[in-house]
Amino acid sequence: MPQLDVSAFSPQIIWLIITFVILYALMAKVALPRIGNILEQRQARIDDNLDAAQSLRRESNTDAESYDQAIAGARENARLTIQKTIKEISVETAHHQEELSVRLSGELKSAEDLITDAKAAATKSIHESAASITSEAIKILIGEKPTENAIKNAVSSALSVPTGEIKK
């Protein structure tokens, strides 16, 4: 192997140094600056993207706050609308209840008047029937027809006495 020959060491070392210096110079002057520029461009792009992300984050936070404020405003508006509607409905309900109360009290009064009239008519009819029956019964029993005034007084006094108190 020629690389291990001691007599060929000095030209090999010289060529090694020359090649190393050339490669070092090429790397220092050409390749490393390009790599450095690429790394700087990437870092600049990363920094720009981070700045844009921070800007978008601030903008989204601002939008989220305005959205939250809009939601809170809408909720407050809805709450006020509901309260207003409840008040209107309660006023309307009270008005309808008052109208219904007036109408029902009128109907109740009318029904009470009808009942009173029917009761009076029934009482009058009972008195007339009782007077007629009494008159006929007396006529059959004693053969005389009593006066109408006497029969009416007797029937009225008999009907005004509670049934448990009639004497036998």
Q: What pLDDT shows up at residue 2?
A: 67
- Cβ proximity of 112 and 104 under 8 Å: no
Question: What are the residue ranges in the chain where pLDDT is below 50?
Answer: 166, 168
Q: What pLDDT shows up at residue 168?
A: 45
3-state SS class at 166:
coil
Distance CA 119, CA 121 (A): 5
Q: What pLDDT shows up at residue 8?
A: 79
Helix H or strand E segment including 147:
none
Q: By CB neighbour count within 10 A (0-12 exposed, 13-18 middle, 19+ buried), where does 138 fall?
A: middle
pLDDT (tens digit per residue) in 86-111: 999 999 999 999 999 999 999 999 99
The three-point CA angle 85-98-110 to 5° equals: 155
